[in-house]
Structure 1
Amino acid sequence: MGKIDRLLVRYGGNVVQLAIALWALALVAAFAGLLRPNWRWAIYLVCTVAVTAIVVQWTRTVRERYIREARLPAYLKRKLRETYPHLSQKDCELVERGLRQFFMACMRSRKQFVAMPSKAVDALWHDFILHTQAYKTWCHNALGFFLHHTPAEALGAKARNNDGLRRAWFWACKDEAINPKAPSRLPLLFALDAKMAIAGGFTYLPDCSNILAKNAAGGDGSGTYCGTSFADGSHSGSSDDFGGADSSSSSSSDSSSDGGSDGGSCGGGGCGGGGGD
């Protein structure tokens, strides 16, 4: 990461607040008679909006590139194979890609809670968070906030958890150009447990319309879960817009998550939930 990228990661999330503060001071000064508004203010306003938008977008791009390309600690794959000895080196690399996809969903969810849908990826995430300093640095560069760990889960009775899974599903699908409402295949994050034959893992199918019977969601993870269930309204929460992810994806800021604070927990419960290990 270059010097400019590091500056953007550290301060880019504060540019909106800074712009608002400067204009608030200018307006106060104008009302107090210390400044006299003129036609140049319109130019200043346009320039402020343009520069702010560029910095926010640039910061988001830097974070996305970091999540996709930054090297994760090598010991994580070794620890994963200790947990699941049957996994090959290539399998571990796929699980690492799944973790990156999860972090991307968190970054794009604007600090809203994102649930973990894979036990294989959850094991890798859990080992990562135990190495506090390395994990804190990763979160700062990738997200701008500290992402707390919550265990993997499936759709169940709690609306908050269901919406967290919907956000994970929506952004994982978008990451692979899959229609989240009518998926023809599974995104990696939701396919890994079955692909890796993870004991007690969560097995998903893109569409369960051909299955005559399926386990009720929220069980022990041994049943089959359906990608289409995230949007069909069969579980509590906001299914129409995937927990708000669909509406945020069409906004001008397109799911930017550029918080400037390092080490603070994710607001509103956190992308990884409020609970620790």
Structure 2
Amino acid sequence: MLWIVLAALVFFALAFFLMPYLPGARAYRDRQTRIKTYLRQESAIKQWRAPALARQYVQKLWPNCQTPHLDMMENLLRQFFMCNLQAESATLAIPSFALQHFWQGVILCGKAYAEFTGQAEHIADYRPLDAREYDPQAMQQNLLLCWQMACLQEGLDWRQPARLPALFGLDQKLGISNGWRYVCSNGYLQVWRAEVREWHILLPDRPPRLRKKD
């Protein structure tokens, strides 16, 4: 009987030490690491709250923006961060002039912003556009991906949505001067922005690749 117990102990000891070298063990560990990273980032984004300075910054630009409007901007910036999290290895263009400035207001709170981006593991890093690196085609692709992600989050068909996703309708809803305007029609996303005048972006049939938490 004793030899059976000893054999079992040897077997389990060998299994314990050899487990990391078994086929698929590294893939399993990598998958668990990705899941934990995703959940940490998701939690940081959901718990994030905009500092008061960001709200004051926006109100100086658009004095008519009241608390409900600022609450909407905060929620939509959080949604934009979630779109970035869920997009697999991609860069998204922010689709709202007002939201871009709200984000810049958040950055003014340097310490709080650094803590948040650290917790979100740089999903919420601000990427200012360098005019020397401006690439209209890349910008359109990044904007298009944001359109797809926003539609998916709100349960809309990105090819023929019943309405604009909230991220894309914000400027028009708030009546933002120099705001960006969008219309989805006949398989194209039409974009009006002061610096580019007008774009017509063909909407793809292929869905975007999503980052999965599992």
TM interval, shorter chain, is: 0.7 to 0.9
In structure 2, the residue matched to 1:172 is 150
Task: Give the Å deviation of 1:86.
Answer: 0.6
Which of 54, 60, 74 is residue 38 of structure 2 equivalent to? 60
SS across alignment from 1:86:
coil
Q: 1:202 touches 1:221 (CA, 8 Å); kept in 2?
A: no
Q: Does 1:248 align with 2:209?
A: yes
Q: 1:173 touches 1:179 (CA, 8 Å); kept in 2?
A: yes
Q: Does 1:220 align with 2:194?
A: yes
In structure 2, the residue matched to 1:116 is 94
Quick one: distance in 2 between partners of 1:142 and 1:42? 29
Task: Give the Å deviation of 1:74.
Answer: 2.4
Q: 2:168 touches 2:182 (CA, 8 Å); kept in 1?
A: yes
Pairs within 5 Å for 1:81-92: 81-92=59-70
Task: Give the Å deviation of 1:52.
Answer: 2.5
Task: Give the Å deviation of 1:60.
Answer: 0.7
Q: Does 1:208 align with 2:185?
A: yes
- Which structure has the larger Rg? 2
In structure 2, the residue matched to 1:97 is 75
Pairs within 5 Å for 1:1-277: 44-144=22-122, 147-150=125-128, 158-205=136-183, 207-209=184-186, 217=191, 219-220=193-194, 230-232=201-203, 239-241=204-206, 246-249=207-210, 253-254=211-212
Between Structure 1 and Structure 2, the one with more helix by share is 2
Task: Give the Å deviation of 1:230.
Answer: 4.5
State the Cα deviation string for residues 204-233 of structure 1 (Å, max 9, x = none): 23x335xxxx9x7465279888xxx5543x
Between Structure 1 and Structure 2, the one with more strand by share is 2
Q: 1:203 touches 1:223 (CA, 8 Å); kept in 2?
A: no
Q: 2:145 touches 2:208 (CA, 8 Å); kept in 1?
A: no
Q: 1:117 touches 1:190 (CA, 8 Å); kept in 2?
A: yes
Give TM-score, length-normalised by structure 1.
0.59
Higher relative CO (Cα under 8 Å, sequence separation at least 6) belongs to 1
Please tell me the residue identity of whatever aligns with 1:115. Answer: A
Q: 1:115 touches 1:164 (CA, 8 Å); kept in 2?
A: yes
SS across alignment from 2:23:
helix
Unaligned runs of 5+ in 1: 1-39, 152-156, 233-238, 257-277
Q: 1:204 touches 1:224 (CA, 8 Å); kept in 2?
A: no
Quick one: distance in 2 between partners of 1:101 and 1:150? 19
Aligned residues: 191
SS across alignment from 2:182:
strand
Q: 1:201 touches 1:222 (CA, 8 Å); kept in 2?
A: no
